[in-house]
Structure 1
Amino acid sequence: MPRRKDIWRCGLLTLPVGEVLAGGLSHAPMHWLPEEPAFRFLADPFPWRGRDHLHIFAERYDYATRHGTIDLLTLDEGFRVIDRRPCLREDWHLSYPQVFDADGATWMLPEAYRSGGLTLYRMGKGPEGWVRETEIRLDCVPVDATPLRHDGRWWLFYSPADSKVTKLGHLHVAWSERLTGPWHPHPGNPVRIDSTSSRPGGTAMVLDGRIMLPVQDCTRTYGGAIRPLWIDRLDETGFAARAGAPLALPVSAGLYRDGMHTLSSGGGVTLIDVKHIDRSLAGLWLDLKRTLGRSFA
């Protein structure tokens, strides 16, 4: 039975991503969200600015249940959490809740590979209410699918859920004329095979005319670091990219120095998450109790 547990914490800064990549995170002025109770965490934070407030959508995870759901956090002008509530729960694990505006609506595209697919949600009456819009069909069940609107069409970057190797080290691409599809897988898939820089890890964007996709470096550990993947060619038949150096962790991360696997942007802020690896006997005991509970259920 594995004892190690990744415990994540989310941080916010008011620098744009371009400045973060140029100057690094080591001494960046971070605003850290409060830590969660033992063996719970918030991870995969994505920002969205509503009419009156900045909101953060994040995965809420509890090792007692091992089931991820999506929480909505509302922040005041000083980046303090003034409201928090669940906003999306399914029978399967959810994470990586990208929220973005397009085509006159607000959308969420969360990670949900354990459902066997990928579902696009549309915002209902407010940021706490989401309605299933459509299932996006691709050449595989995707992990951490990341959208980008570029040159008049939609692009989607993702890793296949086929195996641990493909989840951590393969990159696929698809394109569509409309966000709701149909989607066309790139004929070169996988367009990249490299555990240092293939699995998506945040908001894809165009910086100074170049496409930048945050990707995870998983050579040492899952979510060991974030690198920028600079994409030099992206079209229906070709793909070329070059990975930049991994981002150093903020000094203020303290205990959380074992990895980072999200770099997201929007609403005038940049978000990250960092982790520490818990190897305590308390974590092992939590797993034993969970296993025994299932045995006698």
Structure 2
Amino acid sequence: MFDLWRVGFIRKPLAHVLRPEGLDVANVVWLPESPRDFQFVADPFGIERGGVLTVFVEAFDYRVRRGEIHYFQYNQADVLIAKGVALAEPFHLSFPSLIEEGGELYMLPEGYKSGALTLYRCVRFPDHWEPVQTLLDVPAIDAAVTHFGGRWWMFHALPGPEDRAMRELHVAWADSLMGPWTPHTANPVRSGLADCRPGGTPFEQYGVLYLPVQDCAEGYGRRIRLLRLDVLEPDHFEATEVRRFEPEGVLEGYADGLHTLSGLGNVTFIDVKSLNQSPSEGLIRTQYKLRRLFRMNGPRKEAA
């Protein structure tokens, strides 16, 4: 079985999900379906500039098991006008969260296989980004950063055995986006498969900070839970779940998961999942194993 994701956006601020009616699924604009049953796009984040909405996503191909950051651009009539590659590295990339600070635009993608968490600065929008700072010397997963209460805060997961990346929430704080970043004294501040892995953009409403997290108790990215952060200090953390967002009824054929709820400005982004049985699945897995074996056992240069 393959997880296949589909990305959509809603032209409303992220905080609209707090209204009694919740997420406005009736007005989602969906990005095109992936052209192959072994590819998908997920983890949407985006920004609107000059009347053009740019959606950044993880673009994943099961044949190589490595993600890149791609972009899709829409005009004000929600017509797709451009797409391309925004950022690619030798290692897997996903979760391209965006940060605006000091007149600059930054991207903080997950690249945990690099062994660190690296911040990228936009040199030419939307397809030229350069690494500017290592924020953490640990392979943080799905790191979400926000400025709240006079400090910068980061929410992330860490890899490890027994699904650690889905069952522990870690926090770090800093006085500057560039750091240094200090781990929370109570890490992991929250444990359990139901409400720990970050799932999008932290957002503030009426002086209160909210954090979307993934519910992985029934499987990876099953639904989004929204936490209200009641206490957020370097040595104290308390949170309360205030809402859940289910994938059922959002998009026909994609009722198996919903694991991103993000937003910037007047746009909200989501993704939904379909568990897909592909007739080419066996061949794709075999090809991937052969490529990996060749890389491990390929020709090596002899020492001089």
What TM-score comes out, normalization by structure 2 length?
Answer: 0.91
Report the Cα offset of residue 295 of structure 1: 5.1
Q: Describe the SS at the equivalent of 2:81.
A: strand
Tell whether the 8 Å contact from 2:6 to 2:33 is kept in structure 1 after alignment.
yes
Deviation per residue, 1:181-221 (Å, 9 max, x gap): 10010110000002111100101011222110100000011
Number of aligned positions between the proteins: 293
Question: Which secondary structure state, in structure 1, belongs to the residue aligned with residue 244 of structure 2?
Answer: coil
Deviation at residue 121 of structure 1 after TM alignment? 0.5
Written as runs of structure 1 = structure 2, the 5 A alignment for 1:166-245 is 166-245=164-243
Residue 277 of structure 1 aligns with which residue?
275
**Displacement after TM superposition at 1:127 (Å):** 2.0
Shift of 1:292: 4.0
Map of 1:76-95 to 2, 5 A cutoff? 76-95=75-94
Distance 1:146 1:27 in 2: 23
Q: 1:251 aligns with which of 249, 252, 256?
A: 249
- Please give the secondary structure, in 1, of the residue aligned with 2:163: helix
Is contact 1:217-1:225 (8 Å) kept? yes
Q: Given the alignment of the two structures, is residue 114 of structure 1 paired with residue 142 of structure 2, yes or no?
A: no
The aligned counterpart of 2:264 is 266
| Residues 148 and 154, structure 1, Cα contact 8 Å, conserved in 2 | yes
- Equivalence for 2:3: 6
d(CA) in 2 for partners of 1:150, 1:26: 26
Separation of aligned partners in 1, 2:163 and 2:73: 37
In the TM superposition, 1:146-161 aligns within 5 A as: 146-161=144-159
| 1:72 maps to amino acid | Y
Structure 2 distance, partners of 1:295, 1:98, is 33
Cα distance between partner residues in 2 of 1:103 and 1:90: 26
Q: Measure, in 2, the Cα distance between the counterparts of 1:19 and 1:154.
A: 24
Residue 253 of structure 1 aligns to a residue whose secondary structure is coil
Counting only pairs closer than 5 Å after superposition, residues 51-90 of structure 1 correspond to structure 2 as 51-90=50-89
Compare 78-87 and 222-231 and name the one that shifted more: 78-87
Task: State the SS of the aligned residue for 1:99.
Answer: strand
Given that residues 45 and 97 in structure 2 are in contact (C-alpha distance below 8 angstroms), is that contact kept between their aligned partners in structure 1? yes
Shift of 1:14: 1.6
Structure ranking higher on relative contact order (CA contacts 8 Å, 6+ apart): 1
Report the residue type matching 2:129 in the other structure: W
Kindly state the Cα deviation for residue 153 of structure 1 after the two structures are TM-superposed.
1.4
Q: Which amino acid aligns with 2:2?
A: K
Distance 1:292 1:161, change over 3 A: closer
Structure 1 residue 90 displacement after superposition: 0.6
Q: Is the 8 A contact 1:26 1:251 kept in 2?
A: no
1:128 aligns with 2:134: no
Aligned to 2:29: 31
Inter-CA distance 27–120: structure 2 relative to 1 (3 Å threshold): closer
In structure 2, stretches of 5+ residues that fail to align are 299-304
Q: In structure 2, how many angstroms separate the alpha carbons of the residues matched to 1:49 and 1:245?
A: 27
One-letter amino acid matched to 1:114 = K
| Paired residue secondary structure (1:28) | helix
User: Partners of 2:215 and 2:96 in 1: how far apart?
Assistant: 20
User: The residue matched to 1:42 in structure 2 has which SS?
Assistant: strand
| Paired residue type of 1:285 | L
1:20 counterpart = 2:17: yes
Equivalent-residue separation in structure 1 for 2:25 and 2:69 (angstroms):
30
Determine the C-alpha separation between the residues in 2 that align with 1:21 and 1:283: 40
What's the CA shift for 1:293? Answer: 5.0
